[in-house]
Amino acid sequence: MPDLARTLLAPILLVQGKRMFERMPKLSAPTGEREGIRGEGEPLRLLVVGDSSAEGYGVDTLDEALLGQVVHRLAETNRVTWRLFARFGSTVPRTLGFLRKQEPEDFDVALLAVGMNDVIAGQALGPWLASYRDLVAELQERFGVAHIVVSGLPLIGQFPAVPQPLRWVLGRQARRYDAALEAWADGTPDVSYISLGFAADGSLRKGEVTVAEVMGADGFHPGPRVYDEWGRRAVEQIQAFQKTRQ
């Protein structure tokens, strides 16, 4: 069903969205290795897949980004072989198309960070969730992924770079899509979900700084502290999966 508020406000939202992206500071991709090996211990093959947040926009290096935060923690107990498949502006269908062009190789775990661009583009919920299922199936069938960690959608309703009423409309829609994604993941074998929500007081974790204070320089992408907490939550799920294999 179409979002009535988005439909009624469409002329205003289109203008706001265009101006927002025109005025937003242009960030560079973080520097660092998109594949490598680190640590000692039980081998673990990790694939990180997604959009600009998966690629680490908002920080200077991949070590500070989601990939680096996850690899750093896992390398304390594992020999981690990692690879990053991420593209700026990617949607779920575009990510799937990109994966289909890659040579298949086996991974133990895939961490997904994609979906917000679909919401911004106005993709309907049903087709969006169907494309997400196709993406997961591709990872399982062609890349042999044993467990997939799905990142929830970020709190765009709190992003300082997004003006009102666009922020309210996108935030409302993102919450609905995120709830559907969580419900699907919870009912799907070998898939786990991690929330990118924050504490009820609006902080990263209760008692810490507000969302606006931990964003990247453009007010739209995550900053170092968000990637750190995101990585911590992802590693919790990965380690829980590892325990099931022992």
> Residue 182 in contact with residue 174, Cβ under 8 Å?
no
Domains in the chain: boundaries: 4-22+29-245
Structure tokens at 1: 């069903």
Among 27, 26, 33, 28, which Cα is nearest to 62's?
Answer: 33
Q: What are the Cα distances from residue 149, in Å, to 111, 124, 145, 220, 238? A: 5, 23, 10, 23, 7
Could you tell me the end-to-end alpha-carbon distance of the chain, in angstroms, rounded to an integer?
A: 45
- Number of Cβ atoms within 10 Å of the Cβ of 80: 25
Instruction: Tell me what pLDDT residue 235 has.
Output: 97
Read off the pTM. Answer: 0.89
Element (H, E) at 16: helix 10-23
Residue with tokens 């591709």: 138
Percentage helix, strand, coil, to 5, in the chain? 45, 15, 35
- CATH number of 4-22+29-245, picked from 3.40.50.1110, 3.40.50.720, 3.40.980.10, 1.10.10.10: 3.40.50.1110
pLDDT tens-digit profile, the chain (246 residues) = 456 666 666 666 676 667 777 777 788 999 999 999 999 999 999 999 999 999 999 999 999 999 999 999 999 999 999 999 999 999 999 999 999 999 999 999 999 999 999 998 889 999 999 999 999 999 999 999 999 999 999 888 888 888 888 888 888 899 999 999 999 999 999 999 999 886 544 455 555 556 666 888 888 899 998 999 999 999 999 999 998 886
Instruction: Tell me what pLDDT residue 164 has.
Output: 86
